[in-house]
Structure formats: C-alpha cells, structure tokens
Amino acid sequence: MIPGNPIGRFNPCVVPEDRCICDGVYFFPTFLSPDTVLSDFKCYSWAFSITKIYSAQMRAGTYWIKDYPAATSAASTFTNKLFAIGNGLMSHMQVHGQISLMKTIMEKPFSDPTSWLHAMALAQYEKWDVMDAAFTVCANAGIIQRAAEQQKYFGAYMFSHMSTPLMGLSENIGAASSDFFMNVIGYDHFNYNWGWRGEDATNYGIGANITSLDFHRIHMFRSYDTYAEEARRMTLACSDKNVRVMSGLLTVNEWITTKQAALAGRRKLMVESGSNVLSYKAPKEDLHKRALKIQSVAKNMRLVDAIKLAEATDPHRELKYEYGLPHDLSEVA
C-alpha cells in the first residue's frame, strides 16, 4: 500500500504490481496544486473516496482493480464482508443517488472555468491561502508550522506541528483535540495522536522532543469565513505572544508557562504510574479547581471564562465527531 493521506507522500511500490494498493483519496483536481504532475504508479488497485470530493461527513468510495487473479482474490476477501447483509446493504436509491451526483460533478471538465470541479478547486485554494499566510506568521515566531513535506493545496487537510522550541509541551486534553489550538486559538482540531498507529513521532525526523500530541490535522471543508477567522486569531496570537485573542483563551506565553509547569509534574507522575506521555491523562478534577489553576496563570481571565476553558480542555472528554469550528460553536458542527 502507498499511503498519501494527509501529506501526499507517494513512492513507487517495492513489491510486485499485483500486490500493491494505491490510496488515491486526494489525487483529484480539487485537492492538488495547479502544477501537479501525477506519476504513473504501478498498482493493481486504486482506492478513491468519491464523497471526499464534496463532503467530510459522508464516507463512500470506489476502487479499481486490474484483472489479475491474485488481485481479484485479495479484493474479494474484504468486499464480500463489506457488502454482506449483516453490514447493511446500500439501497437502490442510495447507489443511484451517488451516481446522479457524480454525473453532475463530472459533466464539465476541470479545465472549464464554469465547471463544478474548477469552482471547488478555487474555493479550496482560497481557504488554503488565508491559512497558509497565518501559518507563515506563526512559523516565523517559532510557535507552530505546517509540515514541510506537505505540498500547498494538497488534500483535504493541513498537517502541522509545534515548532522546535515548543515540542513536547502539548498535553492530552481529551477527545483527540489539539492542546494549542483549543487553548490559544479557540478552534477544535484533531491532534492526530491516533494517526500514528503506535509509531514514535520522533522517527518523523523533525525533532528529538516532539510527540504525536504536538501534531494537528485541520480539515478544509468548512466555509471560507471559518478559516478567515481562524487565520485572524492565529496571526494575532503569533504576532504578540502576550495577546489574548478572546477573553476565554490563553495567550501563547500563558500556554507555554502552563505547559512547562505541567510537564515537570507529568514526568514525575508518569514514572510513578508507569504510563507514558501519550496514554497519561491528568486525574479527574473539579472544574472549579482547574479553573482556578488557569486563573493563576491567566491573571486577567474571569472565573466564568476560566471554567468554560477548563471544561473545553477536560482530558476526560470523549471524541464525538470530526472537529473544525471554534469550540464555543461546536454544538453546530
């Protein structure tokens, strides 16, 4: 398998062609930079997520298989289970509804400025541009940055991480949420801890102190205004580390102070409990007590705002859905 999600890293197969599956989920005009040239990968199967063309919520796709006996045999081992009655067959209306939508999307070529595909690509570029400009400010300030190997405009996600001075500070704040973005920017994004599948993040080769909690995955399927507001907040916070972008959030310096103190205590408790930085969660604590701790660093924050932030960053929260909005608007995500 050649995985290209979310950073677009594609390499030739090192196994025989009839044993190589290619993940083409974002090899689509709306998720590529205008000058992208696709290599002719030799795979027996290509997998595509057709619904990712227009929605992050629906999950359906197609795959193409070359007519190799070994390939069709391997594919049938999972498709037979996938289409079994026990797993819920798609209705006639669902199947043909998808086909009708795909016909509409594909009725004009990408090269036609009036096509659905061209319009979506331009909408994606616009969102990428405003966020990329904000990430540039934050990278120059040594705070957060986009992953260097992800080509601009590739895919439905922006993949980023804490910059070198701040690597290792991010905590497990529950629900797979990004510590920095939730506390400082006020947006709820995945920390991508789950995406490493047990791999040590230091093996990514960008820092000896980095952990998988330091990474963030921002999906790009919201409206432009969502990203324009996030970019505005990022630019403010990264331009002046003592600026609070909203009354109920931490400044960059307050976040650093809080996390440096927590890291020292976390190391001690991890040794005592035998857990590691990724599995460790702070003990369940009264929200009022946690709010007072926040206020001890954020001196000018009102108690009501501190309690709301303590609730939003409770490490015992559970994952409910894919994030991407300001956390105070999460109920309408």
pLDDT digits (tens, 9 = 90+) for 116-157: 889 989 999 999 999 999 999 999 999 999 999 888 998 888
pLDDT class of 318 with cuts at 50, 70, 90: confident
Residue 123, token pair as written in the block:
């909408």
In the chain, the amino acid numbered 293 is K
pLDDT score for 294: 95
Classify 229 as helix, strand or coil.
helix
Q: 3-state DSSP call for residue 216?
A: strand
* pLDDT reading at 237 higher than 50: yes
- How high is the pLDDT of residue 49? 63
- Mean per-residue pLDDT over the chain, rounded: 82
Assigned token pair, 99: 């086909």
pLDDT in tens, 17-51: 777 777 767 777 788 888 877 666 677 666 666 56
Instruction: Quickly state the pLDDT bin for 165 (edges 50, 70, 90).
Output: very high
Looking at the predicted structure, is the pLDDT value of residue 79 above 90? no
Confidence of residue 324 (pLDDT cuts 50, 70, 90): low
Lowest mean per-residue pLDDT among 28-32, 58-62, 262-266? 58-62
> Cα separation of 263 and 210, whole Å?
13
The Cα 260–Cα 172 span in angstroms is: 14
Please report, rounded to a whole number, the percentage of residues in the chain having pLDDT higher than 70. 76
pLDDT at 254: 98
Query: Please, are residues 327 and 186 in contact by the beta-carbon 8 Å criterion?
Result: yes
d(CA 317, CA 79): 35
Lowest mean pLDDT among 66-70, 201-205, 226-230, 249-253: 66-70
State both tokens at 234: 């990022």
Helix (H) or strand (E) holding 21: strand 21-23
- For the ranges 16-20, 272-276, 296-300, the maximum mean pLDDT occurs at 296-300
Q: Give the 3-state secondary structure of residue 85.
A: helix
Give the per-residue pLDDT at 53.
62
Q: What pLDDT is recorded for position 330?
A: 46
Query: Does the pLDDT at position 249 exceed 70?
Result: yes
Helices (H), the chain: 69-82, 92-106, 116-140, 179-180, 224-239, 252-273, 287-297, 303-312
Comparing C-alpha atoms, which of 215, 250, 230 is closest to residue 324? 230
Indicate the DSSP class of residue 99: H
Instruction: Identify the band that residue 111 occupies on the pLDDT scale cut at 50, 70 and 90.
Output: confident
Q: Check residue 2 and give its pLDDT.
A: 52
**Other CB atoms within 10 A of residue 227 CB:** 23
CB 182 within 8 A of CB 249: no
**Predicted structure pTM score:** 0.84
For residue 299, the number of C-alpha atoms closer than 13 Å in the C-beta half-sphere is 4
pLDDT at 323 over 50: yes
Query: In angstroms, rounded to a whole number, what is the distance separating the alpha carbons of residues 128 and 150?
Result: 12
In the chain, pLDDT over 90 holds for what percent of residues?
Answer: 42
pLDDT above 50 for 332 = no
In angstroms, the first-to-last Cα distance of the chain is 33
Pairwise pLDDT comparison (296 vs 57), residue with the higher score: 296
Question: Which DSSP symbol is given to 219?
Answer: E
Q: What is the pLDDT of residue 333?
A: 34
CA distances from 209 to 60, 166, 203, 204, 213 (A): 38, 9, 11, 11, 11
CA-based radius of gyration for the chain: 22
> pLDDT confidence of 88, banded at 50, 70, 90?
low
Each residue of 171-230: pLDDT tens digit?
Answer: 989 888 999 999 999 999 988 887 787 788 888 889 999 999 999 999 888 899 999 999
What confidence tier does 331 reach under pLDDT thresholds 50, 70, 90? Answer: very low
Give the span between the Cα atoms of 274 and 207, in whole angstroms: 24
What is the residue whose two structure tokens read 């559970």? Answer: 318
Tokens found for residue 151? 């080509």
The residues facing 160 across adjacent strands are 146, 216
Contact 294, 306 (CB under 8 A): yes
pLDDT surpasses 70 at 59: no
